[in-house]
């Protein structure tokens, strides 16, 4: 019935356009309105009672006098607007703030950010004490500010407060995949101790000198921006073991059911799985973040944002009806569960029934292949 109605409407449009001007003519529904503004006229300004104290009312959209008084006749083609000139390029690196937290966001994958961040600390005179490319972390040794390179030591010394000049400092840098695809987030944690002390104070949960952390982030941001202009390098070790990853493992639980283990916190895992499902063209009908569940339909493709059917597609009835979609639906649940410091991803038919092993493995493989 829907297809018949579409064909009838199309036939009516075609027959109407052959001899009637009501549709396309000068007075038709689809006429060109590009010159209508030439007929615009100004009206008298709004009048207020004399006893009302109000500020002057100016017209919001006044018609220019030369247009209102124009006696030009015929068609007039409105010129196309000129393209805006770009004022400058957006940097690959930017500083983000949330409350007291600060970090650098890079429009690059961690494998490209790792060597740039490490090079900044080495060029600044820091001694790298420990590095773990597989987890995106490195830390520096205890050093006094005057042991750093001259320019960096002077800039830090002029900005840092709460740290004695002869105190020793060290920093830990953590590089994580960003929330957006192919981005990274760089965090810096700093701590200090009295000069000559041999006590290992450990790493605090937050920098004990926020001004030192802020100064290092600003200096690192400027250095990374300069490096981006000159071209960068890629850490193959970080690319192999950190980006793509040993952090994602497809295995089986004790009952032989497939599961995917993600070595990340729940927030990052949730957004990564959501992006992976969209990239893999898997339809997500609904989601419940508090339960950690994506409700998917394997019989349909992913829903694209702002995607609407075309004019002729709607006439011909090419979109399936809700009854057709429901009849062929293959609905499952992708569930994320916190387990220690990692997240496990499983596939279920419903809350009480696991999905068939072949279906679960297919879905989890799609997620694994599209993570990143």
178: nearest Cα among 275, 280, 91: 275
Higher pLDDT, 124 or 232: 124
β-strands 258-262, 248-252 pairing? antiparallel
Token pair for residue 212?
Answer: 């030192």
pLDDT score of 311 more than 70:
no
The arithmetic mean of pLDDT across residues 175-185, rounded, is 82
**Domain 93-240 in CATH: superfamily?**
Outer membrane protein assembly factor BamC (3.30.310.170)
Per residue in 104-149, pLDDT tens? 998 888 888 888 888 889 888 899 998 887 778 899 999 888 888 8
Instruction: Please give the mean pLDDT across all residues of the chain.
Output: 76
Torsion angle of C-alpha atoms 305, 310, 314, 319, degrees rounded to 10: -50
Q: In the structure, what pLDDT confidence band is assigned to residue 369 with cuts at 50, 70 and 90?
A: confident
More confident residue, 204 or 1: 204
User: 300 vs 57, which has greater pLDDT?
Assistant: 300
Nearby residues of 31 by Cβ (< 8 Å), 6 or more positions away:
24, 25
What is the reported pLDDT for 242?
43
Q: Evaluate if residue 24 carries a pLDDT over 70.
A: no
Q: Can you give the pLDDT at residue 239? A: 43
Contact predicate 94/105, CB 8 Å: yes
* Whether residue 63 has pLDDT greater than 90: no
pLDDT on residue 87? 47
| Residue 359 pLDDT exceeds 70 | yes
**How many CB atoms are located within 10 Å of the residue 210 CB?**
16
pLDDT-wise least confident of 197-201, 331-335, 337-341 = 197-201
Query: In the structure encoding, which two tokens stand for residue 343, read together?
Result: 């997240």
Region of residue 25 (left: phi > 0; alpha: psi -120 to 50; beta: else): beta
Among residues 112, 371, 357, 96, the alpha carbon closest in space to that of 247 is found at 371
Distance CA 88, CA 229 (A): 13
The two tokens of residue 103 are: 């970090």
* Radius of gyration from C-alpha coordinates of the chain: 32
Q: What pLDDT is recorded for position 83?
A: 57
What are the start and end residues of each CATH 3.30.310.170 domain in the chain? 93-240, 247-370
pLDDT of residue 88: 47
Residue 243: which pLDDT band, with cuts at 50, 70 and 90? very low
Q: Give the C-alpha separation, 145 to 154, whole Å.
A: 9
> Which CATH number is correct for 247-370, 3.40.50.2030, 3.30.460.20, 3.30.310.170, 1.10.3720.10?
3.30.310.170
Angle at 323 between CA 322 and CA 329, to 5 degrees: 85
Alpha carbons 361 and 366: distance in angstroms, whole number? 9
Query: pLDDT value at position 109?
Result: 83
From the list 307, 249, 248, the residue with the least C-alpha distance to 281 is 307
pLDDT one-digit tens code per residue, 189-211: 988 888 777 777 778 888 888 88
Encode the chain in three state secondary structure: CHHHHHHHHHHHHHHHHHHCCCCCCCCCCCCCCCCHHHHCCCCCCCCCCCCCCCCCCCCCCCCCHHHHCCCCCCCCCCCCCCCCCCCCCCCCEEEEEECCEEEEEECCCHHHHHHHHHHHHHHCCCCEEEEECCCCEEEECCEEHHHCCHHHHHHHHHHCCCCCCCCEEEEEEEEEECCCCCCEEEEEEEEEECCCCCCCCCCCCCCCCHHHHHHHHHHHHHHHHHHHHHCCCCCHHHHHHHHCCCCEEEEECCCCCEEEEECCCHHHHHHHHHHHHHHCCCEEEEEECCCCEEEEECCCCCCCCCCCCCHHHHHHCCCCCHHHHHHHCCEEEEEEEEECCEEEEEEEEECCEECCHHHHHHHHHHHHHHCC
- Select the highest-mean-pLDDT range: 238-242, 286-290, 326-330, 368-372: 286-290
pLDDT class of 168 with cuts at 50, 70, 90: confident
């Amino acid at each position: 019935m829907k297809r018949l109605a579409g064909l009838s409407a199309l036939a009516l449009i075609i027959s109407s356009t052959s001899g009637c001007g009501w549709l396309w003519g000068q007075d038709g529904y689809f006429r060109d309105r590009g010159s209508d503004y030439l007929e615009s006229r100004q009206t008298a300004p709004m009048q207020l009672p004399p006893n009302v104290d109000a500020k002057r009312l100016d017209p919001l959209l006044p018609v220019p006098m030369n247009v209102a008084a124009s006696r030009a006749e015929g068609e007039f083609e409105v010129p196309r607007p000129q393209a805006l000139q770009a004022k400058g390029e957006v940097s690959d690196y930017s500083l983000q703030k949330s409350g007291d937290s600060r970090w650098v966001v890079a429009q690059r994958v961690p494998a490209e950010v790792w060597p740039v961040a490490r090079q900044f600390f080495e060029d600044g005179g820091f001694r790298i004490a420990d590095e773990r490319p597989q987890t995106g972390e490195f830390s520096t040794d205890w050093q006094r500010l005057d042991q750093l390179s001259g320019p960096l030591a002077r800039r830090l010394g002029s900005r840092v407060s709460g740290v004695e000049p002869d105190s020793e400092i060290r920093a830990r840098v953590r590089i994580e995949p960003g929330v957006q695809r192919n981005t990274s987030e760089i965090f810096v944690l700093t701590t200090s101790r009295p000069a000559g002390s041999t006590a290992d104070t450990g790493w605090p949960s937050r920098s004990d000198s926020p001004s030192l952390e802020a100064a290092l982030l600003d200096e690192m941001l400027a250095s990374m921006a300069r490096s981006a202009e000159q071209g960068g390098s890629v850490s193959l070790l970080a690319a192999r073991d950190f980006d793509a990853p040993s952090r994602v493992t497809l295995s089986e639980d004790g009952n032989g059911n497939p599961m995917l283990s993600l070595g990340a916190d729940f927030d990052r895992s949730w957004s990564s799985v959501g992006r992976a499902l969209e990239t893999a063209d898997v339809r997500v009908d609904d989601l419940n973040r508090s339960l950690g569940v994506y409700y998917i339909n394997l019989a349909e493709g992913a829903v694209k944002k702002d995607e609407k059917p075309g004019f002729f597609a709607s006439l011909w009835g090419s979109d399936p009806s809700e009854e057709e979609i429901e009849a062929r639906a293959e609905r499952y649940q992708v569930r994320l569960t916190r387990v220690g410091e990692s997240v496990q991803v499983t596939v279920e038919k419903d809350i009480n029934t696991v999905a068939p092993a072949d279906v679960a493995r297919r879905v989890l493989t799609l997620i694994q292949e599209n993570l990143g």
